Amino acid sequence: MTRVPERCVVRMVRHAESEGNADGLMVGRSDPDLSRRGLIEASAVAERLDRAIEGDAFLVSSPKKRAVRTAEVIARSLGGVPLHTDERLEELDFGELEGVPFQDLLAAWPPDWVTDPKTPCPGGESYDELLDRVRLSVHEWMGIATSEGMGNLVVVTHLGPVKAMVADTLGGHWEAFERVIVGHASVSTLEIGSEFARLVDLNLVPRRASR
């Protein structure tokens, strides 16, 4: 079991808009790049983090292009901090639904894999599996960051991982997963320690990115 450090501020950043998002597609394991709007959003969230973070920060990202491109802008804004990647921070595996227009799913919404965290997407992954890998990743990177004297961890990832960590921080209340909004280039701040976990901010979207 991964040892959770005494205290760490974890900023869960959803990547900026990708070309797949702009087209309204289910984007999980596919790898589209940022859209034009996404490039603007990445700069805006980087500016927000630069203003918000006091002291040094440790930066880790999903290896998907839409996340890495967002994280690279953040890294430059934070003074050129090193960027690490972790496959465990990837989006939910949507299986057979990958690339399907989201609108095509609304007639039968919500499907079983949304209402039951143990049910996988057809040919894909369940939300329980998502949470297990994301939580382990975040806790391990918290330990690495604090061992290097950094109390701030920035995690650039996807919609599912952000919502999963928010729900987990709220005491495992899975109902919260579908009741929170997490926009592109948003920051949700968690304060996590060995004896506590708190949601500090949710879905802070840079003003410039919301226009």
Q: What residues are labeled active site?
A: 15, 91
φ, ψ for residue 84, nearest 5 deg: -105, 155
Centroid of chain to Cα 71: 11
- β-sheet with 8-14: strand ranges across: 83-85, 57-61, 152-157, 8-14, 187-192, 197-204
Assign 131 to helix, strand or coil: helix
Task: Find all residues with CB under 8 Å of 42, minimum gap 6, and list them.
Answer: 16, 34, 69, 70, 73, 74, 185
Q: Burial-class residue 40 by CB neighbours within 10 Å (0-12, 13-18, 19+).
A: middle
Assign 1 to helix, strand or coil: coil
Q: How many CB atoms lie within 10 A of CB 159?
A: 19
Q: Name the token pair of 201.
A: 């901010």
Residues 51 and 119: beta-carbon distance below 8 Å:
no
